[in-house]
Amino acid sequence: MSALLVFVVVVILPTGQPAIKAELVKECPDQTFIISAYQQMKVAGEILDWQARCYDSKLKIQTFT
């Protein structure tokens, strides 16, 4: 069995509106890549702020090996 994680990203758009994206993943994305990507968006003015986090969903999926 393999755990499913929930990866959540919240960004604040230049309009001040929040945008949320969540997806089920088998493993959390590389933290260095995520930080770099969203910080570049912030520096470029595409977003005002952001936060990303992985949560354990407590769900398990069967893996066939």
Percent of residues in the chain assigned helix, strand, coil, to nearest 5: 20, 50, 30
- What b/e string do you get for 46-62 counting C-beta neighbours within 10 Å, with b at 16 or more? ebeebebeeeeeeeeee
User: In the structure, what pLDDT confidence band is assigned to residue 65 with cuts at 50, 70 and 90?
Assistant: low
Cβ count within 10 A of residue 41? 14
**What is the SS3 assignment for 65?**
coil
Tell me: the pLDDT tens digits for 32-63? 999 999 999 999 999 999 999 999 988 777 77
Q: Given a cut of 70, is residue 1 above it in pLDDT?
A: no
Secondary structure of 20-34 in the HEC alphabet? EEEEEECCCCCHHHH
Q: How much is the pTM?
A: 0.80
Residue 23's pLDDT is 95
Tell me: the pLDDT tens digits for 17-37? 999 999 999 899 999 999 999
